[in-house]
């Protein structure tokens, strides 16, 4: 009897022990179900993108953020109805790692699609096609040579002649594997040096006689040849390859959405104009030689020194004040808006009169008058606003719409349980919605209706541009 009783008990224990652990595992799997990245992007209303810094991806010219990948990314973000949080990373290996760690949503840069990369990345439809070319320097005094054959005699045209040659390439790029394949094909050693410099900077080093050879995508190399006429980019070292963006391997929903958008966008006039702007327009030759081109010049405007001096009076980073001035006037000292605001700081006529500014006033006088106005708004803010970044955002908002409306938004924030001393996700919400009757007719509002979306975007765009300035322009 004891044996008969024991066996069912053991079976019962085994049964219970089998059911509960698996039930627990099912619950745990449910709890840890992967969040769809596209849903997260839409919920947070922001896409975090990594790109590199080059004439073909992202740069600043006369204070304006530009670049093929940058503008394409903004077009995609507009389609999604989100903003762009753009982060710059020159190191490709780091970019791949950050993407895998979830520190970025998409690699918005010109990546070559390779079999090895498809093991851990999902690529978009090709943005364009290109091939890899050898970048080398034309012989000295090539301009005086009678024929192309005479010039070619000094250049590598047959890949067999790469044997024994030292070639510098960007670290982490697909060029390394291609050169290894060539080395194997020609049965000779190619000395490959992987450099931390970008491909564009390596091309510049070839042009400046610092190195003899590098490798680049043909589309990049041709653009660079417009800038440096002494380089040759006519020797291909690969077949045509696809250039695309990439996301993590498990984010099919995001890549499908991106591809669907690209399929439609690539058929538009906007797409053709964008491509021509950066890859066919000769304007790039003039642009890159400008002192206001961030990739080589490092200046934002003709007024940088004045802005730096003025920024110290309000203890701001000068690049933040520059971003505000660009937002107001694009660094144009004599522009007048449709409401009568004038000059670099877009001062209204009454303010101009109060600070002694006329249409004949110097750029320095205009900037200093605007800074005095900023200081005035700061002095009128409640002392409870202690966060330095929040305070600047309140000052900027006041400059754009007037202090009264911003104080109204603070009162609404307090009434509805938000923090009236913080801007982001607190007071800015009520600024954005002060064009709605529910809010501008609220008893706590003393200054009525305002075009709140303008002020909201004013602050947001200044700080977004400032982030770009911080990355690319020295303090």
Residue 295, domain member (yes or no): no
With residue 179 as reference, give the H or E element that holds it.
helix 175-186
Reported as half-sphere exposure (CB side, CA atoms, 13 A), residue 314 has a value of: 29
Say what the pTM is: 0.71
How many domains is the chain partitioned into structurally? 4
Helix, strand or coil for residue 290?
coil
With residue 51 as reference, give the H or E element that holds it.
strand 46-51
Burial (0-12, 13-18, 19+ Cβ within 10 Å), 10: exposed
Residue 49 and residue 25 in one domain? no
Give me the mean pLDDT over the 104-129 stretch. 93
In this structure, what token pair is assigned to residue 279? 């890859």
Residue 294, domain member (yes or no): no
Distance CA 383, CA 283 (A): 50
**Boundary of a domain, candidates 287, 320, 349:** 287
Q: Which residue has the higher pLDDT, 370 or 23?
A: 370
Distance CA 362, CA 364 (A): 5
Sign of CA dihedral 173, 174, 178, 183: positive
User: Is residue 423 predicted with pLDDT exceeding 60?
Assistant: yes
Give me the mean pLDDT over the 25-41 stretch. 63
Between the two ends of the chain, the Cα-to-Cα distance in Å is 89
In this structure, what token pair is assigned to residue 174? 């697909």
Share of the chain above pLDDT 90, in %: 70
Query: Would you state the pLDDT for residue 28?
Result: 41
Query: Would you state the pLDDT for residue 293?
Result: 66
* CA neighbor of 465 nearest in space, from 64, 61, 46: 64
Residue 171 and residue 218 in one domain? yes
pLDDT class of 468 with cuts at 50, 70, 90: confident
Residue 157 and residue 273 in one domain? no
Q: Count CB neighbours of 55 within 10 A.
A: 25
Helix, strand or coil for residue 89?
coil
**Boundary of a domain, candidates 255, 287, 319:** 287
- 260-278 pLDDT tens trace: 999 999 999 999 999 888 8
Residue 423 and residue 464 in one domain? yes
User: Is residue 295 predicted with pLDDT exceeding 80?
Assistant: no
DSSP E strands in 380-468: the ranges are none
- 312-332 pLDDT tens trace: 999 999 999 999 999 999 999
Residue 247 and residue 319 in one domain? no
Give me the mean pLDDT over the 5-17 stretch. 41
Residue 292, domain member (yes or no): no
Average pLDDT over all residues of the chain: 88
Residue 254 and residue 368 in one domain? no
- 85-103 pLDDT tens trace: 999 887 888 999 999 999 9
Residue 115 and residue 256 in one domain? yes
β-bridge partners, 336? 342
Give me the mean pLDDT over the 444-470 stretch. 93
Say if CB 167 and CB 143 are below 8 A apart.
no
Q: Count CB neighbours of 14 within 10 A.
A: 10
- CATH for 122: 3.40.190.10
Residue 65, domain member (yes or no): yes
Distance CA 123, CA 263 (A): 14
Residue 119 and residue 263 in one domain? yes
Residue 296, domain member (yes or no): no
Q: At what angle do helices 388-401 and 318-329 cross, to 10 degrees?
A: 20
Residue 98 and residue 70 in one domain? yes
pLDDT class of 419 with cuts at 50, 70, 90: very high
DSSP 8-state assignment for residue 424: I
Residue 100, domain member (yes or no): yes
- 157-186 pLDDT tens trace: 999 999 999 999 999 889 999 999 999 999
Reported as half-sphere exposure (CB side, CA atoms, 13 A), residue 51 has a value of: 30
Q: Please report, for residues 102, 246, 409, the alpha-carbon distance to residue 70 in angstroms, rounded to integers and kept in the order given.
A: 20, 15, 33
Distance CA 411, CA 444 (A): 6
Length of the chain: 475
Range of the domain at 277: 38-127+243-287
Residue 280 and residue 311 in one domain? no
Give me the mean pLDDT over the 235-243 stretch. 93
Residue 350, domain member (yes or no): yes
Residue 351 and residue 439 in one domain? yes
Give me the mean pLDDT over the 74-88 stretch. 94
Residue 405, domain member (yes or no): yes
Give me the mean pLDDT over the 345-364 stretch. 94
- CATH for 397: 1.10.530.10
Residue 109 and residue 207 in one domain? no
């Amino acid at each position: 009897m004891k044996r008969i009783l024991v066996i069912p008990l053991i079976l019962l224990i085994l049964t219970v022990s089998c059911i509960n652990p698996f039930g627990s595992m099912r619950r745990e799997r449910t709890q840890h179900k992967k969040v769809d990245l596209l849903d997260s992007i839409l919920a947070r209303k922001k896409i975090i993108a990594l790109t590199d810094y080059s004439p073909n991806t992202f740069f600043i010219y006369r204070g304006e953020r530009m670049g093929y990948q940058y503008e394409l990314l903004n077009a995609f973000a507009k389609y999604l109805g989100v903003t762009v949080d753009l982060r710059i990373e020159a190191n490709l290996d780091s970019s791949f790692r950050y993407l895998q760690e979830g520190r970025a949503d998409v690699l918005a840069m010109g990546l070559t699609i390779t079999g090895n990369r498809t093991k851990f990345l999902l690529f978009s439809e090709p943005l364009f096609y290109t091939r890899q070319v050898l970048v080398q320097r034309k012989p000295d005094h090539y301009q005086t040579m009678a024929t192309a054959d005479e010039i070619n005699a000094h250049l590598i045209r047959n890949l067999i002649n790469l044997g024994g040659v030292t070639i510098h390439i960007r670290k982490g790029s697909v060029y390394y594997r291609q050169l290894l394949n060539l080395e194997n094909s020609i049965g000779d050693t190619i000395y490959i040096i992987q450099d931390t410099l970008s491909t564009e900077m390596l091309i510049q080093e070839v042009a400046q006689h610092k190195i003899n050879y590098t490798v680049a995508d043909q589309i990049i190399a041709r653009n660079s040849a417009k800038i440096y006429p002494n380089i040759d980019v006519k020797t291909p070292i690969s077949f045509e390859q696809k250039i695309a963006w990439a996301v993590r391997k498990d984010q099919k929903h995001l890549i499908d959405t991106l591809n669907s958008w690209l399929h439609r966008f690539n058929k538009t006039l906007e797409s053709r104009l964008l491509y021509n702007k950066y890859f066919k327009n000769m304007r790039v030759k003039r642009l890159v030689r400008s002192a206001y081109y961030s990739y080589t010049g490092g200046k934002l405007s003709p007024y940088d020194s004045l802005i730096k001096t003025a920024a110290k009076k309000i203890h701001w980073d000068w690049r933040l004040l520059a971003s505000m001035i660009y937002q107001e006037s694009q660094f144009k000292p004599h522009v007048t808006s449709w409401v009568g605001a004038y000059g670099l700081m877009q001062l209204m006529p009454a303010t101009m009169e109060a600070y002694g500014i006329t249409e004949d006033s110097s750029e320095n006088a205009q900037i200093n008058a605007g800074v005095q106005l900023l200081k005035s708004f700061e002095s009128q803010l409640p002392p409870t606003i202690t966060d330095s970044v929040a305070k600047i955002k309140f000052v900027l908002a006041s400059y754009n719409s007037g202090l009264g409306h911003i104080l109204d938004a603070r009162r609404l924030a307090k009434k509805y349980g938000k923090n009236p001393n913080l801007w982001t996700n607190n007071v800015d919400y009520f600024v954005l919605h002060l064009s709605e009757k529910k809010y501008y007719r609220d008893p706590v509002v003393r200054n009525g209706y305002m075009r709140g979306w303008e002020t909201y975007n004013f602050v947001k765009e200044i700080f977004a541009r400032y982030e770009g300035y911080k990355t690319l322009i020295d303090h």
